[in-house]
Amino acid sequence: MARSFVVVGLAATALVAPTMLASAPSSASVATPAVSHAAASHAAVSHATNSPVASRPDAVTLRPQADLPTPVAARLPVRAEPDGTRVSLDISFYGQPDGARHPLVLLAHGFGGTKDSVAGQAAELQQRGYVVATWSARGQGNSGGRIHLDDPNYEVNDAEVLVDLAAKRPDVELDGPGDPRFGVMGGSYGGALGLMLAGVDPRVDAVVSAITWNDLAQAFFPQSALAAPPKTAAGRDPIDVAGPFKQVWASTFFLSARGAGGGAGAGTGASIAPPPGATAPGATTAPARAATTTTTAATTAASCGRFDRALCRLFLKASDSGVASPELLTLLRAHSPKPSLSRVKAPTLLIQGIADSLFGLDQADATAAALDADGTPYAVRWSDGGHDAPSTHEAEETEASYAWLDHYVRDKAPRDSALPTAKFTFPIAATRAGQPSTLHALPAYPGLSGTTLQTQGVGFTQRQGGLVHPPGGLPASIIAVPGLAALGISLSTYQLAALPGQSTAFDTEPLTQARTVVGSPTMTMTITSDTPDVTLFGSVWRVTGSSITLANPLVAPLRLKVTPGQPTPVTLSLPGATYDLPSGSRLRVLLTSTESTFSNTREPGQIAVRAGGTLTLPVSQVDGAAAGTSGAPLVDTEVVLAASALGALLLLALGGFLVRRRLRRLLPSRPDLADIPLVVEGLVKTYSDGHRAVDDVSWRAEKGQVVGLLGPNGAGKTTTMRMVMGLISSDAGSVHVLGEPVSAGSAVLARVGALIEGPGFLPHLTGRANLEAYWAATGRAPEEAHFDEALDVAALGGAVDRPMKSYSHGMKQRLGIAQAMLGLPELLILDEPTNGLDPPQIAAMRPILRRYAETGRTVVVSSHMLAEVEMTCTHVVVMHAGRVVTQGLVADLVDSDDTTILDLPEDADAALVRDGVHALERHDGIHEVRVDTGSRLVVVGELSRVAVVQAAVAAGLPVVGVSSRRHLEEVFLGVISSASAIPGGEPDDENHSLVERLRQVRAR
């Protein structure tokens, strides 16, 4: 179950890995190996793939490949197995072709991996100028033999043989005969190998050892009960009782050594499955021999896969009993760097993960303490990754590793030179999930290099607690779920951890000042139990409001031999981590009797716990400046991208603004037209649908004129007016008001008042407020407006203070006219002003307009109420189909010398009239006689009016009135029909004109 968590965890972190815009390629390279490798080798080997310095197989493809030779594979015969089986390793050398000698790096892989898992890193080191040796460890990959878990006699000895071989290469730099200049680097399984190699082989010049163990016995049977209070940040000096068995991890090891079925073996050949051809002798004999022994041995052989038989048997026994046998403990201690650390002289970089339930911070702490005691140069770097989760600073950790090698191997820096990296670097998790942690550096590891560990005590609010151990060890609390942290799950798992009755919790007082915890908190307590063997699991939680979250998803197991009923004092070292504690925050220590990743005893028990006074926190002074690299710098790629996009947009806006201002100034004014209120010249407007609404229209309105703009619907009157006001742009031509060109929003429009296509008012304001709002929009002084006088024109009475919504159409129309007159503009443009007005109102409007013009101002009225225009206007412009058909004085248009209108009495005899008309038509000098109505004749001819009247009377027509005037309507219809006339039959023409007019109506 835990294993599947690991898989999920890795896949998920690959997805949520912090990918910023520009860093996408590099983060992909971080994430992909974790996924692909985990998938390929079934993720049981996650401790290998997660290593901060672990493999990056596809990094090769991401870098421009220099002209370096491809790795050369070879077989290296090494020490035979205990049963005499001959063993050869599958090795590769990444050589240097330039003929010079280069320093060497031994690159060791993690458990369950092969030499291919480190191929990417090997290529990187090769490009850095190293000769790189990689090999599949004994029992792994295509190498022969069995897994001895870094046995000094086998795996470590193999590495020595490899060094001997490398010393013979012509491209490897030598310190002396058979002594190459080299460093050894690896994570987890490979990390311990490096430390152990340095412990037995003085030729090693530098070690980079990541997420590995100091004491394998302590790793698999962790004991957090302390023999002495810690002197270092994560120091854990355990009592001499083996802790509970870390069952889940042990099983994971075994499963990966078995090859995890066919899936992995077929795909990569990375782990186990059928031994390949080269190792055929050893591999085939072993099962054969196993088969001949007892049935239990056969089971063992099947379960052990490629594990060494002796080692395997001990592990299976421990799995069965949950208790460590002395033989196993001895063996595990021997397979650890711890015994040989005093002989390590090579400068060593230790990288250890906080998110590591397999090899905790205490392991690296113990190694560092041993190196410090012997004066060996070392640096410690804590990572927020580990076997449980990927690091958020993998690139920095790899870079620090390379810098370490460069410094001590390539550059041959003396041992007392300054370290190439800070002596202690640690991360503090970001406040939000998915963000990289911030890195901080200290000049010394707390408690080492002559410093003393700083601590802060926080009192517990309650001291007494009790819990039971369930019979059968179930249900088990779930606290340290490997991989859960990697999922970025922030929800509280407290309910799963603190099973009722099986746990007890001790809360601290709130912190009085903010602190940064760096390392393992400790607490003392007294335990009383009714069984001689007590196991407890401690974990640290943060209590904020009602939410309780794990400070670090790890447990610290404690196993004690006690006298039943007798209180036993003990000091517990809680899981190590780094976190900020703001002032006022509380911690909670949770003690549970079971934990799901451990082998829990089946015997029931009852335990009483009395906590000591305080929780002791290892603290550190952290100021932001201490860190060379900040985890989340305020200015990152995304900020740069967004800021530059914003800057570009603003520049564009500024540029556009300047260009437009320049263009606006270029419009010329026409001083010669300064005295003419309105001049329209050659206006053309074609709408986007292709309809040419206005086509070369030119006219002008002089001072004192009332100009009528006439035309049928769709003639282009309104379009012209909109262009005059700058509401729509013209395709060609110009409009000048008082000599100034008109474009959108021209200042000269302040001299113009207009009512165009009906009034427009804010419905929520009153009539008066609307006029005031409009005037306020002009930005001119209120006293220029003459509100009262304009409202008087509108004649709204009391309605002026009612909201607009209640107004009738006519009232709005009159208010619209009043609005146009605000400020007494020199040019008043009214589009259909009589719309919605009743006859008395129209009559009242007539003198106003005329007298308005008489003051030297100008009025332009568009209308199709011809009688109205005739009575109001002095001048008229007739438009049809977008063109000006005729224009001039109204008097000129309606007056006509060649036309005489004869009025007949209403009751005139029809026959008499008909005869008279015929007679008139035959008269010389008369071209046409038209019967307009029964009582009205229009006579056109070149005769004088007197002669016409005489002729009519002579023809017997009963003339009662004579006039010279036509009505404007006749003129209008006459010009319209002649303008739209097309040569051809009369009916056709009429049809055509109808169609034409319909089209125009549609278009506008």
Site string for other proteins, 938-977 (x = CB under 8 A): ----------------------------------------
413 near other proteins (CB under 8 A): no
Shortest Cβ distance from residue 614 to other proteins (Å)?
Answer: 21
CB nearer to other proteins: give 774 or 979.
Answer: 774
Shortest Cβ distance from residue 52 to other proteins (Å)?
Answer: 24
62 near other proteins (CB under 8 A): no
660 near other proteins (CB under 8 A): yes
Contact 78, 157 (CB under 8 A): yes
658 near other proteins (CB under 8 A): no
Report the DSSP pairing between strands 182-187 and 206-210: parallel
CB nearer to other proteins: give 457 or 582.
Answer: 582
Q: Which stretch binds other proteins (CB under 8 A): 81-89, 295-303, 595-603, 817-825?
A: 817-825
Enclosing H/E stretch for 894: helix 890-894
Q: Which residue from 356, 327, 323 is spatially nearest to 249, judged by alpha carbons?
A: 356
Site string for other proteins, 63-102 (x = CB under 8 A): ----------------------------------------
Distance CA 728, CA 598 (A): 82
CB nearer to other proteins: give 167 or 550.
Answer: 550
Question: Which residue, chain included where needed, has tokens 């280069």?
Answer: 102
Distance CA 60, CA 64 (A): 8
994 near other proteins (CB under 8 A): no
Which residues between 625 and 644 bind other proteins (CB under 8 A)? 632, 634, 636, 638-639, 642-643
Shortest Cβ distance from residue 781 to other proteins (Å)?
Answer: 10
Q: Which stretch binds other proteins (CB under 8 A): 59-67, 373-381, 580-588, 982-990?
A: 580-588
Q: Which residue from 194, 172, 173, 169 is spatially nearest to 184, judged by alpha carbons?
A: 194
Alpha helices in 258-393 (DSSP H): 262-267, 280-292, 295-304, 309-321, 326-334, 361-374
Distance CA 275, CA 257 (A): 12
Residues in the chain: 1004
CB nearer to other proteins: give 722 or 875.
Answer: 722
906 near other proteins (CB under 8 A): no
982 near other proteins (CB under 8 A): no
DSSP sequence for 155-192: HHHHHHHHHHHHHTSTTB-EEETTEE-EEEEEETHHHH
Helix axes 280-292, 295-304, angle to 10 degrees: 150
The upper half-sphere exposure of residue 892, i.e. CA atoms within 13 Å in the direction of its Cβ, equals: 8
794 near other proteins (CB under 8 A): yes
In the beta sheet, which residues pair with residue 940? 899, 928
Distance CA 281, CA 292 (A): 17
- Taking CB under 8 A as the criterion, the residue among 572, 811, 890, 904 binding other proteins is 811
795 near other proteins (CB under 8 A): yes
CB nearer to other proteins: give 219 or 439.
Answer: 439
Shortest Cβ distance from residue 517 to other proteins (Å)?
Answer: 14
348 φ, ψ (degrees, to nearest 5): -130, 130
Which residues between 479 and 518 bind other proteins (CB under 8 A)? 491
Measured CA angle at 771 (ends 770, 773), to 5 deg: 60
Alpha helices in 17-145 (DSSP H): 24-40, 46-49, 59-62, 119-127
Contact 736, 773 (CB under 8 A): no
CB nearer to other proteins: give 118 or 622.
Answer: 622
4 φ, ψ (degrees, to nearest 5): -65, -30
852 near other proteins (CB under 8 A): yes
782 near other proteins (CB under 8 A): no
Q: Which stretch binds other proteins (CB under 8 A): 72-80, 347-355, 590-598, 807-815?
A: 807-815
CB nearer to other proteins: give 681 or 787.
Answer: 787
- Taking CB under 8 A as the criterion, the residue among 262, 856, 925, 956 binding other proteins is 856
- Taking CB under 8 A as the criterion, the residue among 443, 758, 925, 956 binding other proteins is 758
Q: Which residues are CB-contacts of 1004 (< 8 A; sequence separation ≥ 6)?
A: 691, 693, 713, 714, 716, 718, 719
CB nearer to other proteins: give 547 or 991.
Answer: 547
Q: Which residue from 511, 409, 521 is spatially nearest to 125, judged by alpha carbons?
A: 409
- Judged by CB under 8 A, how many residues of this single chain contact other proteins? 103
Q: Which residue from 163, 178, 174, 161 is spatially nearest to 103, judged by alpha carbons?
A: 174
Which residues between 685 and 744 bind other proteins (CB under 8 A)? 722, 725-729, 738, 740, 744
Q: Which stretch binds other proteins (CB under 8 A): 293-301, 399-407, 707-715, 796-804?
A: 796-804
34 near other proteins (CB under 8 A): no
21 near other proteins (CB under 8 A): yes
CB nearer to other proteins: give 263 or 741.
Answer: 741
588 near other proteins (CB under 8 A): no
Site string for other proteins, 429-458 (x = CB under 8 A): -xxx--x-----------------------
CB nearer to other proteins: give 443 or 647.
Answer: 647
CB nearer to other proteins: give 266 or 666.
Answer: 666
Q: Which residues are CB-contacts of 222 (< 8 A; sequence separation ≥ 6)?
A: 238, 243, 244, 246, 360, 556, 557
Task: For the beta carbon of residue 272, count every other beta carbon within 10 angstroms.
Answer: 23
Q: Which stretch binds other proteins (CB under 8 A): 53-61, 141-149, 471-479, 646-654?
A: 646-654
Which residues between 526 and 545 bind other proteins (CB under 8 A)? 544-545
Which residues between 542 and 571 bind other proteins (CB under 8 A)? 544-547
Omega of the bond leading into 103 within 30 degrees of 0 (cis): no
Q: Which stretch binds other proteins (CB under 8 A): 51-59, 140-148, 500-508, 651-659?
A: 651-659
Report the DSSP pairing between strands 706-710 and 875-880: parallel
Q: Which residues are CB-contacts of 843 (< 8 A; sequence separation ≥ 6)?
A: none
678 near other proteins (CB under 8 A): no
200 near other proteins (CB under 8 A): no
Distance CA 318, CA 624 (A): 47
Q: What DSSP designation does 603 have?
A: S
Q: Tell me the three state secondary structure of residue 715.
A: coil
Question: Which residue, chain included where needed, has tokens 């080191």?
Answer: 125
- Taking CB under 8 A as the criterion, the residue among 278, 298, 489, 848 binding other proteins is 848
Q: Which residue from 79, 28, 83, 15 is spatially nearest to 56, judged by alpha carbons?
A: 28
910 near other proteins (CB under 8 A): no
1003 near other proteins (CB under 8 A): no
Enclosing H/E stretch for 539: strand 533-544
Shortest Cβ distance from residue 331 to other proteins (Å)?
Answer: 47
